[in-house]
Structure 1
Amino acid sequence: MIVIYSYAKDLNAMMIGDSHAMDLGIDVAKTRLIVLVASTLVTASAVAFAGSIGFVGLIIPHIFRILLGPDNRILIPISALGGAAFLIFCDWLAHVIAEQYGVLPIGILTALVGAPYFIYLLRVRRNEVGW
């Protein structure tokens, strides 16, 4: 997460376009590669530690981007904390719902929230992409 956060300003510049980011002195290809590798390692370690927690990486950053704006210096740490809080809430809810049956997998609850949101995003973005 520290590596990803250290590239927050570069990611902000890349949001306005690759050519503008290059004009600002950012090595776009190098930044993309480093952020891709770092985010892959963070995701792989989270899945190895907690299991499949689908849609959390999709839901939480989009919600916080809508609420807080596109500044990655704020968005990256808040998304990490918000994702952790969301998973703790889902874990608590899984224990409350299925108390007499055992523990309900957290992935089921995240999918129940994430799948409709993912479908919503696809429908909204369809017009932007031109499908």
Structure 2
Amino acid sequence: LLVLGALALRVAPRLNALALGEAAAAHVGIDVERLRWQCIGMVALLSALAVAWCGSIGFIGLMAPHLARQLVGADQRRVLPNAMLAGALLLVVADSFARTLAVPAEIPVGVFSALIGAPWFLVLLRGAVRRMGSA
């Protein structure tokens, strides 16, 4: 996890260039195809590690990057570490609720991450539709 996190931080400046478009990134010397495969590999391995450790907690992966981007802006050098921290914090909150609301039983943490994540996702979706001018 630490190795992949460090690798993600090394890739962050190139992701900023890629945010301007593939052509612009290629013009500044970034091998877009290689970067794409590096990112796919990192995301797959990080997701596999998270699911192996915690179980399926899909909404955390949706909420954390968007929350981080809203808090610190679009610079990937700041978004990546803050998204990791936001995901950890959201999971701790969901896990705390899962362990304490139905004592002595435990509710699966995925239920609480979905209860937090589904409304958040709908708010994000509504904002995206408004920005596109469809609603």
TM-score of the aligned structures, taking structure 2 as reference length: 0.88
Distance in 2, Cα, partners of 1:46 & 1:3:
17
Distance in 2, Cα, partners of 1:84 & 1:117:
17
Q: Is it true that 1:38 corresponds to 2:39 in the alignment?
A: no
- The residue number in structure 1 matching 2:56 is 52
Q: Is it true that 1:115 corresponds to 2:121 in the alignment?
A: no
Shift of the alpha carbon at 1:54? 1.6
Shift of the alpha carbon at 1:130? 6.6
Paired letter, 2:49: S
**Is the CA contact 1:4–1:39 (under 8 Å) kept in the aligned structure 2?**
no
Distance in 1, Cα, partners of 2:113 & 2:92:
11
Shift of the alpha carbon at 1:83? 0.8
RMSD: 1.7
The worse-fitting range, judged by mean Cα deviation, of 68-77 and 81-90 is 81-90
Shift of the alpha carbon at 1:63? 1.1
The worse-fitting range, judged by mean Cα deviation, of 118-127 and 49-58 is 118-127
Distance in 2, Cα, partners of 1:24 & 1:65:
24
The higher relative CO (CA closer than 8 Å, separation ≥ 6) is in 1
Paired letter, 1:92: S
Q: Is it true that 1:5 corresponds to 2:21 in the alignment?
A: no
Deviations along 1:85-130, one digit per CA (max 9) or x if unpaired, are 2111211121121114x01111000000111122222232235397
Uncovered stretches (5+) of structure 1, i.e. residues with no partner: none
How many residues of Structure 1 are paired with residues of Structure 2 in the alignment?
130
Partner of residue 103 from structure 1, selected from 81, 95, 106: 106
Q: What fraction of aligned residue pairs are identical, expressed as a percent?
A: 38
Partner of residue 74 from structure 1, selected from 67, 73, 78: 78
Distance in 1, Cα, partners of 2:61 & 2:133:
21
**Is the CA contact 2:60–2:87 (under 8 Å) kept in the aligned structure 1?**
yes
Distance in 1, Cα, partners of 2:79 & 2:125:
22
